[in-house]
Amino acid sequence: MGVQGLLPLLRRIAPESIQSIAVSAFSNLCPVVAIDGTLLLMRNFRSQYCRRQKITPIVVFDNPIPNEFKAQEHEKRRLTRANLLKDRDNILKRELIQNNLELVLLSQASPCTVSNSEMLLYSMDNLLEELSIEESYITIPSKQKDLESTQKLPDDQNPSSDLIDKKEKKKKLEKIDELYNQLMSVLSDFGPCSDVKAYLETVRPRIDLQDLRLCIRYLFGKLDLVSLRDYRLKTKAELEKYDRRLYSPTRQHFEELFELLKILNIPVTYAPVAVEAEAFASAIYKKNLAAVVATQDTDTLALGAPMVTNFLDNSELFYRFFTYLNPLRICNNLKISHRQFQTYCLMCGTDFSTRIPQIGPVRALELVQKHKDISAVLNDLSLSNKYNVPEDYEKKMHIALKRFTNLPSKNELFQFINANPKSFLQISDSYYLELESQALKLFNLESDYVQRNVHEYYF
């Protein structure tokens, strides 16, 4: 997960903390990269890219034994996944019903209409049209408090236009709720519209406005094939987005990749028990065995290691620049020590800590800059009735701080890096191709399969 809201905050108040490094110069600055192993499965890593760029990868996977210190985070992820699966099921239902509606339109049969409900449909259609127009040119303030303003709230007697827009939108969405319930009541007594009713049952009226409008247009007899097919394309794209979010590598995937990397002479290991992959990769950096950690997890910065965030990015930017962050540079720009930065990260929320309600990244930074340590911060907050600090928060913070400071250091844990007689870059191209052939045979793959399924620039 990383540090919640850290990157948006840096982009906003300390953009100089985020650096871009040209691909052509990267290997000179970072010849050895410790890689969070999960990225290899999520981003289609290909080892010849590293050989071409003269980069030595060191790969670290999370230990197969679950980290008991992350039990709360694992439960949150389980609930999030359950909600995502539920939403995906609803999208699948919509996809099926859209197909049924298309068959009705293709058959040129009269679409389902609801008598004596024209005013209801008309009101909903108008509201949805207004909301659609507003979304195209009004920026509604975000509900998230990740980047709350440090300015005072506007005077209630002279509210900003943004706040007025937000209140107006809320009223319209509440009206949509009311009309939606009325429409569902009408459709429950009207058998011919069972498909539309089933579709509406999967819709969250305040969120799925486009799907709601599709049903209204259909009931009005205004839905044509072109518009419906456009809706179907959007539904398909939404389904693909959910599939990407729900994708999770299996234990077998990790085991196979581990074996594959060993064949290719790439140093690879599992992190010690109760140590995250990015933490052990950071320990490799601190042992001067790597120059940077390739990961998406910003916990790495709190661990004291520089990180590159898009080392395995599939976008065209991959050819040009990597995004590089160094904790020392960040601390200098935020005017805090590294210990204070660790406290700040934990206050923002990480896998090992939770955020105090009503305190986001900006307010947390102000508190750390002013009070320096968590005890002083909590003493200050205790003087106000505004904040509800969770029980045992300070104790849990000190435990979490140890996770960021007590990194593995025993030399035997790092021996895997130099276990091969020749390093990854020292072996000849011809021998490397032989190793690739061995790997392909082991997994019963043809070379053309790899070429078709993995981006060329990784090799």
What does the domain layout of the chain look like in residue ranges? Answer: 6-73+250-452, 88-246
Interior CA angle at 225 toward 222 and 226, to 5°? 100
Give 325's strand partners: 18, 307
pLDDT bin (cut points 50, 70, 90) of residue 334 is very high
Q: Is 206 strand, coil or helix? A: coil
Average pLDDT over the chain reads 83
Start-to-end CA distance of the chain, whole Å, equals: 29
- 435 neighbors 48 (Cβ within 8 angstroms): no
- The answer, yes or no, to whether residue 296 has pLDDT greater than 70, is yes
Residue whose C-alpha is closest to residue 348's, from 337, 335, 363:
363
Cα gap 95→92, rounded to integer Å: 5
Q: Give the contacts of 73 (CB within 8 A, at least 6 positions apart).
A: 1, 351, 352
Sign of CA dihedral 351, 353, 357, 362: negative
Residue located via tokens 């590294």: 338
Angle at which helices 374-382 and 338-348 pack, to 10 degrees? 50
Whole-angstrom CA distances from 26 to 308, 412, 417 are: 10, 29, 21
Q: Is 294 strand, coil or helix? A: strand
Tokens encoding 29:
């600055």
pLDDT bin (cut points 50, 70, 90) of residue 315 is low
Q: Could you tell me where the DSSP H helices lie in 293-425?
A: 299-302, 327-334, 338-348, 361-371, 374-382, 393-405
In this structure, which amino acid lies at residue 449? Y
Tokens encoding 17:
């903390």
Specify the higher pLDDT residue, 121 or 402: 402
In this structure, which amino acid lies at residue 196? V
Q: Give the contacts of 149 (CB within 8 A, at least 6 positions apart).
A: 362
- 36 neighbors 58 (Cβ within 8 angstroms): no
Q: Give the contacts of 26 (CB within 8 A, at least 6 positions apart).
A: 53, 55, 308, 322
pLDDT bin (cut points 50, 70, 90) of residue 163 is low
- The answer, yes or no, to whether residue 160 has pLDDT greater than 60, is no
Tokens encoding 343:
């406290």
Helix, strand and coil percent figures for the chain, each rounded to 5: 60, 5, 35
pLDDT bin (cut points 50, 70, 90) of residue 332 is very high
The pLDDT of residue 251 is: 86
Interior CA angle at 232 toward 226 and 233, to 5°? 90
250-286 pLDDT, tens digit per residue, is: 888 888 889 988 988 899 999 999 899 999 999 999 9
The pLDDT of residue 279 is: 95
Secondary structure letter of residue 335 according to DSSP: T
pLDDT bin (cut points 50, 70, 90) of residue 141 is very low
**Poorest-pLDDT segment among 90-99, 164-173, 292-301, 402-411:** 164-173
The pLDDT of residue 450 is: 59
pLDDT bin (cut points 50, 70, 90) of residue 155 is very low
- Dihedral angle, C-alpha 313, 317, 320, 323, nearest 10 °: -60
- The answer, yes or no, to whether residue 45 has pLDDT greater than 60, is no
Q: What is the largest CA-CA distance in the chain?
A: 83
Specify the higher pLDDT residue, 73 or 221: 221
pLDDT bin (cut points 50, 70, 90) of residue 5 is very high
Tokens encoding 23:
């691909």
Tokens encoding 437:
């052939």
pLDDT bin (cut points 50, 70, 90) of residue 111 is low
Tokens encoding 359:
């305190």
65-97 pLDDT, tens digit per residue, is: 877 777 777 788 888 889 999 999 999 998 998
Residue located via tokens 């907050």: 381
- The answer, yes or no, to whether residue 143 has pLDDT greater than 50, is no
Cα gap 11→226, rounded to integer Å: 41
The pLDDT of residue 46 is: 55
- The answer, yes or no, to whether residue 158 has pLDDT greater than 50, is no
The model's pTM: 0.74
Provide mean pLDDT across the span 194-201: 86
Q: Give the contacts of 336 (CB within 8 A, at least 6 positions apart).
A: 344, 365, 368, 369
Please report, rounded to a whole number, the percentage of residues in the chain having pLDDT higher than 90.
40
Provide mean pLDDT across the span 231-241: 92
pLDDT bin (cut points 50, 70, 90) of residue 402 is very high
pLDDT bin (cut points 50, 70, 90) of residue 156 is very low
pLDDT bin (cut points 50, 70, 90) of residue 147 is very low
Cα gap 151→149, rounded to integer Å: 5
pLDDT bin (cut points 50, 70, 90) of residue 106 is confident
